[in-house]
C-alpha cells in the first residue's frame, strides 16, 4: 500500500480531474479502486440525505417574541439591577459629623452666610483674630473695584 494513491488523488479521480497515471493506477490496484468506490457511495448517500432531508423554513414568519427575547432579557436584567441598587441606597444611612469644635462650625456658618450675600461682605464682623484686618468697620461693596495692583509682576 506504500505505492497507493493519497486521498487527494482519489478525490480528483472521483471528480474526473485525475491525471492519466492516477487512472492507470486505479485500474491496476484493487485497494485504491475500492477506496474510490466507497467515496462515490458516500457522496451519493450524502447527496440523497441532503436532498430528502427535512426542509428548514427559509425566511418564514418568526414570532415577534422570538426576535426580541434577548433584548427583553437584557432590559429586565437592567431594571432588576437598578431596583436592587435603589433599595440598597434607600436603606443606606450616611451620617456626616463636623470635624472640629462648635466654634469652628459657627465660624464656617458665618463665613458661608457672608459669602452667600450678593452685595456686602463685612470682614470686621468675622470672629477671631483681627490682627491682620485693621480697624475697618466699613463693609466691602461690589463698587470698590480698585484692582490697579492686581496681576502686576
| Rounded CA separation 117/113 (Å) | 6
CA distances, 3 to each of 21, 29, 32 (Å):
12, 10, 10
Least confident of 19-33, 46-60, 123-137: 123-137
Sign of CA dihedral 82, 83, 88, 90: positive
Q: Identify the CA nearest to 35 among candidates 67, 55, 17, 9.
A: 9
Each residue of 5-52: pLDDT tens digit?
899 999 999 898 889 999 999 999 999 999 999 999 999 999 998 888
pTM above 0.95, yes or no: no
Alpha helix ranges (H) inside the chain: 7-15, 20-28, 30-52, 64-91, 102-116
SS3 140: strand
Amino acid at each position: 500500500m506504500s505505492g497507493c494513491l493519497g486521498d487527494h488523488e482519489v478525490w480528483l479521480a472521483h471528480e474526473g480531474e485525475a491525471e492519466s497515471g492516477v487512472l492507470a493506477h486505479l485500474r491496476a490496484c484493487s485497494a485504491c479502486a475500492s477506496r474510490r468506490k466507497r467515496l462515490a457511495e458516500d457522496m451519493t448517500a450524502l447527496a440523497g440525505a441532503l436532498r430528502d432531508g427535512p426542509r428548514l423554513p427559509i425566511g418564514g414568519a418568526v414570532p415577534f417574541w422570538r426576535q426580541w427575547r434577548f433584548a427583553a432579557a437584557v432590559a429586565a436584567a437592567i431594571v432588576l439591577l437598578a431596583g436592587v441598587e435603589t433599595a440598597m441606597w434607600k436603606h443606606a444611612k450616611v451620617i456626616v459629623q463636623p470635624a472640629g469644635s462648635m466654634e469652628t462650625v459657627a465660624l464656617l456658618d458665618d463665613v458661608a452666610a457672608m459669602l452667600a450675600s450678593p452685595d456686602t461682605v463685612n470682614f470686621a464682623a468675622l470672629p477671631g483674630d483681627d490682627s491682620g484686618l485693621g480697624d475697618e468697620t466699613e463693609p466691602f461693596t461690589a463698587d470698590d473695584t480698585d484692582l490697579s495692583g492686581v496681576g502686576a509682576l
